[in-house]
A and B are shown apart, each in its own frame.
Chain A
C-alpha cells in the first residue's frame, strides 16, 4: 500500500471539519451573532483586570488602550495586579496609580491565576469582570461590542484577537493564523463549544466566580480550565467577533514554540486528566463529540502528516537530484512541452488545493467580519509556507512533555 493512502483519512476528516464549519457558519445562530451591534443603553459596571509579571515594556500601552475605551468612565474600572515582577513594572504602575479608574495592586509572585483571583477580589461592584494580558491592546469600541454581545444566558464572552503590527516572518504567520482562530471561535461559540476563554479580553459574569470559584493553576492554562469548568457546569460562552484586541505574537521560533507547548500541554493535560468526562459527552455533543476529539486527533495528525510529507519530499528530492546529476543541468531545467495530459491531478493534490483555498477564504472572512486591520496576502503566503513546518515541533514536544510528565514553564 502506498504511504500516500494514509493521507486520505486525514484529508477526509479535514474536509468534514471544513464542511461542518461552513454549515454552522451559515446557520441561524452564527448569522444572528454577526448582525450589526445595536449600541445598548445598558452599561453594566465592568472591571478589567490586568495581571502582570515583568511587563514593564508593554503594560503602559495596555493601560492606555483601556483608558481610551469608549465606555462611560464611571462604569468601568481597571485593576492592575503586579505578580511580583522583578523589572520596572512597579514604576509603570506608579505612573497610573493616581488615576481614578485604576487600582494598582502588588503581590508576591505566585502565578497568573493567583493574580487574576486577587483582581476578582477587588472587583466587588462589577457585574462583568474582564481580563487583559499586559502585552495586549484593545480597540476603543471593544468593550461596547463585548457588552452588547452578552445575551441573558451568556455567562462569558470572548473577543477577536489579532497580532499587533506583525514584523517578523513568524509574526506574519501568526497574523494569518489568528484570523482563522477568529472564525473558529465565532463558529464554535454559535454552538457553545468554546473550550478556552483567552487571556486577552475575555469577560465573565460575576456569578461565574461565585458559582465555580476562581482561577486555578491548571497546568498554566487557567483560561482553558475555566472555560472547561464552565462547559461542565453547562454555562454558555459567547463570542463578540467585532471586539478587537491586539496582542504581541512571539517574534522568535524558540519563544513561539515555548508559548505553543504551554498551550498544547495545557489543552492535553486539562482534557485528558481533569476534564476527560467532557470528551464524548452527549450533554454538549458539539464540544464532547466533535470539537474536543478533533482537537486531540489534530495533534496526532499534525505530526503524522508532517512526517509522511517529509519522507516523501526527501525521497522524491533525492531521486530528482540523482536524476538531475545524470545529465547536463540545462536539460533538466529546460521546459518541455506541457499539455493537460501532464497535469498533476490526483485525489491528494485536488483535495489539498481545495483545503488550502478554503483556509484562505476563512482568513478573508475572519479579517472582514472582525474588521481586523492589516494586509493579509503576504501574511497568508507566509502562513502557508511556514505553519506546517513549525507546528510539528511544538506538537512533538508537547506530547513528549505530557507523556514524560515534564513540567511546563511560562517563559
Chain B
C-alpha cells in the first residue's frame, strides 16, 4: 500500500471519527438540555400541584401563598425561554420538544387558573397576558411581539405572561383557545380578559394594558 493510500485511509477514518465524536457531543448536550427542561418541568409541576392541593385542603384561598405563586410565574418564564432556545436548536418538529411544550402549556394553563382563583378569593389584581403565537411561518410579527413581552416581563416582574403555541396539538390548549375565543390571527393577546390582535410597536401594545397596570408595578 502506498504512503498516499495509507494516509488517505487514516485521514478518512480520523475525519469520520472526529465528525462522529462531535455529533455525539452535540447530541449529548441536547439530551442534557432536554433532561434539564424535564427536571424543571417536574419541579414546577409539583409546585403547581402543591398550590392547587393547598387550595383544596383549606377549602379557601391560601392567600399567604400568593408570593410563591409569583415565584412560580418567574420560573415558568425562565422555563419558557429555555424551551424556546431548545426548540431553535432541535427544531420545532422534535418529538421531545413537542412533548415538553405540551407539558409547559399545561403548567401555564394550570397556573393561570390558580392565579385567577387567588385573585378572586384574595382580592388581588394581577395583570395577566395570554399570548398566542405561531412558528409555522405564518406569523411575521410573532418574534417581535414575543421579544416585546419578554422586555415587559423583565421590566415589570409582577406581570404574568403566558405564551402558547397556537398550533400545538393539545386538547386542553384547544379548549383554552376555544373558551377564550381566540381567532386564527396571530399574534393574539388577551390582556386581563381583553383581546388584542397584531403587533406594531411596544408603545401600541402597552396602550392595551389597563391604566396604571404597568406603572404601578415595581420596575426591575
Cα distance A331–B150 when bound, in Å? 10
Known A-B contacts A16-B12, A16-B15, A326-B147; the reply to A347 vs B3 at CB < 8 A is no
Asked if A346 and B89 sit within 8 Å, CB to CB, the answer is yes
Please give, as numbers and ranges, the residues of chain A lying within 8 Å of B5 by CB-CB distance: 285
**Residue A159 at the chain B interface, CB threshold 8 Å:** no
Cα distance A322–B3 when bound, in Å? 55
In the complex, number of A-B residue pairs with CB atoms less than 8 Å apart: 81
Cα distance A290–B29 when bound, in Å? 35
Asked if B147 and A15 sit within 8 Å, CB to CB, the answer is no
Asked if A351 and B7 sit within 8 Å, CB to CB, the answer is no
Most buried by A among B11, B18, B147: B11
**Residue A110 at the chain B interface, CB threshold 8 Å:** no
Asked if B82 and A323 sit within 8 Å, CB to CB, the answer is no
**Residue B23 at the chain A interface, CB threshold 8 Å:** yes
Chain A interface residue number, banded: 20 to 34
**Residue A327 at the chain B interface, CB threshold 8 Å:** yes
**Residue B148 at the chain A interface, CB threshold 8 Å:** yes
Please give, as numbers and ranges, the residues of chain B lying within 8 Å of A326 by CB-CB distance: 144, 147-148, 151, 201-202
Cα distance A325–B22 when bound, in Å? 36
| Shortest distance from the beta carbon of A368 to any chain B beta carbon, whole Å | 22
| Shortest distance from the beta carbon of A11 to any chain B beta carbon, whole Å | 8
Asked if A323 and B11 sit within 8 Å, CB to CB, the answer is no
Q: Is the interface of A mostly helix, strand, loop or mixed?
A: helix
Cα distance A341–B82 when bound, in Å? 8
Please give, as numbers and ranges, the residues of chain A lying within 8 Å of B155 by CB-CB distance: 331
Chain B interface residue number, banded: 20 to 34
Interface string of A332-348 (1 = CB under 8 A from B): 00000000011101110
Asked if A191 and B4 sit within 8 Å, CB to CB, the answer is yes
Asked if B18 and A19 sit within 8 Å, CB to CB, the answer is yes
Using CB atoms and an 8 Å cutoff, list the residues of chain B in contact with chain A: 2-5, 7-8, 10-12, 14-15, 18-19, 22-23, 25-26, 29, 33, 36, 82, 85, 89, 143-144, 147-148, 151, 154-155, 201-202
A–B pairs, 22, beta carbons within 8 Å = A12-B19, A16-B11, A19-B11, A19-B14, A19-B18, A20-B7, A23-B7, A24-B7, A191-B4, A286-B4, A290-B8, A319-B143, A323-B147, A326-B144, A327-B147, A343-B29, A346-B26, A347-B26, A350-B25, A350-B26, A351-B18, A354-B18
